[in-house]
Structure 1
Amino acid sequence: MADHAYRDSVRRSYDTVAEEYATRLHNELAEKPLDRALLACLLEQTEPGAAIADLGCGPGHVAAWLAEKGARTVGIDLSAGMIEAGRRRFAQVEFREGDLLELPAKDGEFGSIVAFYTIIHLKPGDLPRAFEEARRVLRPSGILLLSFHVGEEIRHLDELWGHDVDVDFRFLEPARIAGLLEAAGFTVEMLMERAPYAHEVESRRAYLLARRT
């Protein structure tokens, strides 16, 4: 599948499940203590007054959690349906429709970036471009916090919560992602893994904290 057709398929799939996703997962951070701790770490290291970007924000619940803690947040997602769902729920978050490979943001606009489970929808060859874009929109010494599923498999879904979808979930090797980030101009400061929580899909999770050099 050509890259543009692949991204269109991801976009349509998330448009289809946007309302259901927002309803089911709006409070998921309440059951993820490690995620909250890492987000708090990100907040503490963000330059005062600088905005935080939530890439692949979905309906914006992570950006909203950060906003509740006093951050100025911008949620960016490929899916117009997700953006609409977020705007209806979280007036405190600015939402923008956009692609990880061509972010709708100015150079150095953000003090930090969070990207939870969004690079898993990129084809391997697109990862360097996505990391270069993340670096472009970060201020010098800005922080990037990534999470993704660990491994080498691709899980394809044709159905999600009773809706027809056509989307791949690509598991990734942490050492490879760290290497790509270093090549894109980041210094990796933390890499850790955890087992899934009882309510999550069965997969090992990786978290990576990197600083723009």
Structure 2
Amino acid sequence: MTRPDLRATADAYDAVAVRYAELPRHDLDSVPLDRAVLAAFADHVRAAGPVAEVGCGPGRVTAHLRDLGLDAFGVDLSPVMVDLARAAYPDLRFEVGSLDALDLPDGSLHGVLSWYSVIHVPPADLPACFAEFRRVLVPGGHLLLGFFEAGGGPVAAFDHKVVTAYRWPVDDLAALARDAGFAEVGRVLREPCEGERFPQGRLLARAA
């Protein structure tokens, strides 16, 4: 891990990991649309093979994927988050790793979930992450992104509670995915729920 932004992100999440993991989280329980998107992703990849959640944090969504019948494991930049995920879900696999340099063979995955992890990647570095997602996916594998949508504006940084993050126009993310060798399957935009500041986006794409 040599890029300063990666080190800063890992350090920031290490510092808040225990408190973050202790927060009561019922996000998926209260947002049926998000559950539906994750279920659709699961339907595409369930019978195919392993799935990685990259940027898994304390492992809650990785566990949700397991509950949907997927052979899922998690990867996160923060060693403390990975330790917490392993303690909470000892039956699942969690590893320390970076979005743009996954320690996985080419074509070894049938699905990649990035649920609010690309939000911390500086815009100039995001194409490398999409290229890495494409590298580790088999042809026909699926990528699902969860992100803060820009609400009709350009890419914009904002004061995320942990470390700088970015809001993206869904069209721009779809273009980056297309440039990396993905075909869009579908997109979902929803308005902020209580306690959320921004519109939320989900983008599902298939590796060509």
- Which residue of structure 2 lines up, in the alignment, with residue 130 of structure 1? 129
How do 1:35-184 and structure 2 match up within 5 A?
Answer: 35-46=34-45, 48-151=47-150, 152-157=155-160, 160=161, 167-184=163-180
Q: Deviations over 1:60-88 (max 9, x none)?
A: 10010111222111101100011011001
Q: CA deviation at 1:26?
A: 4.5
Bigger Cα displacement from structure 2, 142-151 vs 22-31: 22-31
- Which residue of structure 1 lines up, in the alignment, with residue 191 of structure 2? 195
Q: Deviations over 1:117-169 (max 9, x none)?
A: 11110011111110010011111101101011112321135xx5xxxx5x101
Q: 1:96–1:104: 8 Å Cα contact kept in structure 2?
A: no
What RMSD, in angstroms, separates the aligned Cα atoms of the two structures?
A: 1.5
Verify: 1:209 aligned to 2:207, yes or no.
no
What SS does structure 1 have at the residue aligned with 2:84? helix
Alignment partners' CA distance in 1, 2:25 and 2:94: 16
The amino acid across from 1:146 in the alignment is L
Q: 1:150–1:205: 8 Å Cα contact kept in structure 2?
A: yes
Q: Deviations over 1:42-75 (max 9, x none)?
A: 1111051511110111011001011122211110
Q: 1:60–1:90: 8 Å Cα contact kept in structure 2?
A: yes
Alignment partners' CA distance in 2, 1:182 and 1:129: 13
- Which residue of structure 1 lines up, in the alignment, with residue 9 of structure 2? 10
Alignment partners' CA distance in 2, 1:23 and 1:104: 29
Q: CA deviation at 1:192?
A: 2.1
What SS does structure 2 have at the residue aligned with 1:190? strand
Bigger Cα displacement from structure 2, 74-83 vs 16-25: 16-25
Q: 1:64–1:92: 8 Å Cα contact kept in structure 2?
A: no
Percent identity of the aligned residues?
33
Q: 1:27–1:61: 8 Å Cα contact kept in structure 2?
A: no
Alignment partners' CA distance in 1, 2:30 and 2:199: 16
Give TM-score, length-normalised by structure 2: 0.92
Give TM-score, length-normalised by structure 1: 0.90
The amino acid across from 1:94 in the alignment is R
Gaps of 5+ in 2: none
Aligned residues: 203
Moved over 4 A (4+): none
The amino acid across from 1:205 in the alignment is Q
Gaps of 5+ in 1: none
Higher strand share: 1
